[in-house]
Amino acid sequence: MRTQKAFSLALMLILSACSSEPQADVTIQQHEQAFDFQFHTHGIIGFMSLKLWSADTKQIFWDVNLNYYNEHTLRYGQIPHAFTTFNGVQNEASENSPPLPLPPNQRFYLAIVTLHNAFPEPATGAFWFSFATDNVGRIGPVTRADFKNIGDIPHAR
């Protein structure tokens, strides 16, 4: 009886760990001539893609296929080369749309598609964020964006 209870408890813990919701947040660290996306995650084992576009015009400012990238920092406009994925494979990212300079006084959306642990196999998910530049081009705080209509996300031409 005691063994059965221990087994049941262990199984519940494993299943609850596998089914916990993945989480992702982003902050931006701005430097003189560049900025970095800082990823804060839980349960995410890789980033599949990142897309940045203007909220007003839907112009794409950067679109990257990240191919299971799992680092916590990504510099805007720099494609990750020769990184190791969650399962030890050497990989590199590719660019769908090259980076454009961010103009002042504009709001942007950021979409990140991730890979996370799920039972019985990994699954993908998406997280959406928003930020704005001020009148001199400084980047403001990043907040969550709520996208109900996936059709609002622009596609590379």
Please tell me which residue, 122 or 42, carries the higher pLDDT value. 42
**CB-neighbour burial class of residue 87 (10 A; exposed 0-12, middle 13-18, buried 19+):** exposed
Best CA proximity match to 97, nearest among 43, 59, 134: 59
| 45 token code pair | 């084992």
Best CA proximity match to 80, nearest among 68, 88, 56: 68
State the pLDDT at residue 11. 42
Q: Looking at the domain that runs over 22-152, which CATH code has it been given?
A: 2.60.40
Report the alpha-carbon angle 55-114-71, nearest 5: 100
State the pLDDT at residue 9. 43
Q: What is the mean pLDDT of residues 14-27?
A: 72
State the pLDDT at residue 12. 44
Rounded percentage of the chain residues whose pLDDT exceeds 70? 82
The position carrying tokens 């897309």 is 51
Q: Measuring CA to CA, how many Å separate 142 from each of 25, 98, 128?
A: 9, 22, 10
pLDDT at 5 over 70: no
Give CA–CA dist 12/17, Å, rounded: 8
Residue-wise pLDDT tens digits, 71-112: 999 999 999 999 999 889 999 999 999 999 999 999 999 999
What's the pTM? 0.81
